[in-house]
Amino acid sequence: APVKVTKICCIGAGYVGGPTCAVIALKCPEIQVTIVDLNKARVDAWNSDDFDLPIYEPGLEEVVRQCRGRNLFFSTDVDKGILEADLIFVSVNTPTKKSGVGAGFAADLNYVELATRRIAAVATSSKIVVEKSTVPCRTAESMRTILEANSKPGCRFDILSNPEFLAEGTAITDLFSPDRVLIGSLQTKEGKDACRSLTDVYAHWVPIERIVTVGLWSSELSKLAANAMLAQRISSINALSAICEATGANIDEVANAVGKDSRVGPKFLRASVGFGGSCFQKDILNLVYLSESLHLPEVAAYWRQVVEMNEYQKGRFSKRVVDTLFNTITGKKIAILGFAFKADTGDTRESAAITLIKNFQAERALVTIYDPQVLHSQIWSDLMEASSGVPLETIKRQVSIASSALEACRDAEAVVIATEWKEFRTINWEGVYSHMTKPAFIFDGRLLLDAEKLRDIGFKVTVIGRGE
């Protein structure tokens, strides 16, 4: 019969493990939830007295305030967390491999494997082990092999796949009312019982018809497929934005007209400087690698193009800035508004802003960055990583960070909107204009601003997906 879950452990206190399990704790007061991580600084931040949490996510702090110390705990004691739990989420990072077989494409499963081995080594009773991280199809099989080869007598392990679909910036609302919760299990009696145990956890707040149960491999593949198809919409609209700029069509109008078809739908059709974030590129490359390993080169090439189009878009936008500024930005001051990969997050992983800044640095421009959430230390470390080895002092000769949009734009020749932060809409643009070098240019890479109003002030405005 299905086990009634009373204690949950989540390995990995990151962008997924933290919010997901905090919401489970909120919605299931009788379940004790412990989130463990090897990174002490991160755990300390989750436990900080003033709730200075390690990630910025609207609504997260309120959830943690309600549960922390009641039935939600954060700890570095991974072993204790494993020992006590009857259900364990594995929510560790799965970055793209940097070296070895599949470098640049395949997922690095080292963290998943280490966490799995730890579970096998420590557990003294049966566990339901839930793959929460995004992983290649059939990873659950490897996890099961490791667990079974190392388990103690009397311990059985059931593996479930339960990929996460939350988006950063809206994680809490996504978790409160998900479009669906997906649970994959082996289609054996034990597999189905384990699936039932996890279903009962989500059923505390998710309507049962939204809890979709499938086979393990379908579940794993569905996560890669969902991200690939979402990213593909953005690359499709961005490809069309290039045609708009060349013809005088308007990408907003095109997206609106196309999205009205209920088979296409209106969401996720916003042209941009390119998608960023820790997952889209990683998961598509993972799908490309999977396709190639399965000897399906045409399938691999199809998905690879989604990433290539995204790279093209970032390069195209950078070039348009240079072209518009009379073909040179050497020594010119450019203000970059937004550094996070999207609004309402402090996360910068794979942010398009990083590529734009790198391109502007290569043209020897002077760049000033403002972002409402991203820590300055994060910006510096991202720029160092992007420039592979250039010392910080050298970078600082060309790049500075401002603490307000107004400050960033002072004496600038151009302003570039890289992230769709709402607050950029309500900047005092007249004030900005009066402090800029003339002609004053604005490049809206996010379809965020009212171009006509800015033109009335005197700005020369260039918008993604619109001709001059």
Hey, which residues are catalytic here? 279
Cβ closer to ligand UGA: 135 or 432? 135
Instruction: By CB under 6 A, tell whether 136 contacts ligand UGA.
Output: no
Residue type, position 175, single letter: L
Cβ closer to ligand NAD: 137 or 335? 137
Among 445, 452, 455, 400, smallest CA distance to 424 is for: 445
Instruction: By CB under 6 A, tell whether 382 contacts ligand NAD.
Output: no
Cβ closer to ligand UGA: 122 or 386? 386
355 binds, among ligand NAD, ligand UGA, none (CB under 5 to 8 A by kind): none
Q: For residues 191-230, which are near ligand UGA according to CB under 6 A?
A: 227, 230
Cβ closer to ligand NAD: 46 or 370? 46
184 binds, among ligand UGA, ligand NAD, none (CB under 5 to 8 A by kind): none
Q: For residues 6-45, which are near ligand NAD according to CB under 6 A?
A: 11-17, 36-39, 42
Instruction: By CB under 6 A, tell whether 166 contacts ligand UGA.
Output: yes
42 binds, among ligand NAD, ligand UGA, none (CB under 5 to 8 A by kind): ligand NAD
Instruction: By CB under 6 A, tell whether 134 contacts ligand NAD.
Output: yes
- Closest approach, Cβ 84 to ligand UGA, in A, equals 28
By CB neighbour count within 10 A (0-12 exposed, 13-18 middle, 19+ buried), where does 176 fall? middle
Cβ closer to ligand UGA: 51 or 165? 165
Please tell me the distance from the alpha carbon of residue 222 to that of residue 402, in angstroms, as a whole number: 42
Instruction: By CB under 6 A, tell whether 277 contacts ligand UGA.
Output: yes
DSSP 8-class letter at 113:
H
Residue type, position 91, single letter: S
Q: For residues 137-196, which are near ligand NAD according to CB under 6 A?
A: 164, 166, 168
H, E, C per residue of 357-408: HHHHHHCCCEEEEECCCCCHHHHHHHHHHHCCCCCHHHHHHHEEECCCHHHH
Instruction: By CB under 6 A, tell whether 232 contacts ligand NAD.
Output: no
270 binds, among ligand UGA, ligand NAD, none (CB under 5 to 8 A by kind): ligand UGA
Find the residue with minimal CB distance to ligand NAD: 14
Burial 208-244 (b: 16+ CB within 10 A, else e): eeebebbebbebbbbbbebbbebbbbbbbbbbbbbeb
Sheet holding 87-90, edge to edge: 72-75, 32-36, 7-11, 87-90, 127-131, 157-161, 181-185, 211-215
Instruction: By CB under 6 A, tell whether 275 contacts ligand UGA.
Output: yes
Please tell me the distance from the alpha carbon of residue 34 to that of residue 69, in angstroms, as a whole number: 10
Among 313, 328, 174, smallest CA distance to 241 is for: 313
396-435 mask for ligand NAD (x: CB under 6 A)? ----------------------------------------
Q: Give the contacts of 11 (CB within 8 A, at least 6 positions apart).
A: 17, 36, 37, 78, 81, 82, 88, 89, 90, 91, 92, 115, 118, 119
The residue from 56, 157, 341, 441 that contacts ligand UGA (CB under 6 A) is 341
Q: Segment contacting ligand UGA (CB under 6 A): 148-156, 268-276, 396-404, 429-437?
A: 268-276
276 binds, among ligand NAD, ligand UGA, none (CB under 5 to 8 A by kind): ligand UGA
- Closest approach, Cβ 339 to ligand UGA, in A, equals 12
86-105 mask for ligand NAD (x: CB under 6 A)? -----xxxx-----------
Q: Is the dihedral of CA 119, 120, 121, 126 positive or negative?
A: positive
Contact 418, 338 (CB under 8 A): yes
111 binds, among ligand NAD, ligand UGA, none (CB under 5 to 8 A by kind): ligand NAD
Residue type, position 327, single letter: N
Among 375, 374, 369, 394, smallest CA distance to 384 is for: 394
Cβ closer to ligand NAD: 164 or 344? 164
Q: Give the DSSP H or E segment for 450.
A: none
Among 463, 468, 431, 430, smallest CA distance to 448 is for: 463
Q: Give the contacts of 321 (CB within 8 A, at least 6 positions apart).
A: 329, 334, 356, 360, 414, 416, 443, 462
Compute how many residues bind ligand NAD; rule: CB under 6 A. Answer: 27
The residue from 79, 104, 114, 439 that contacts ligand NAD (CB under 6 A) is 114
Contacting positions for ligand UGA (CB under 6 A): 134, 164-168, 227, 230, 234, 268-270, 272, 275-277, 279-280, 341-342
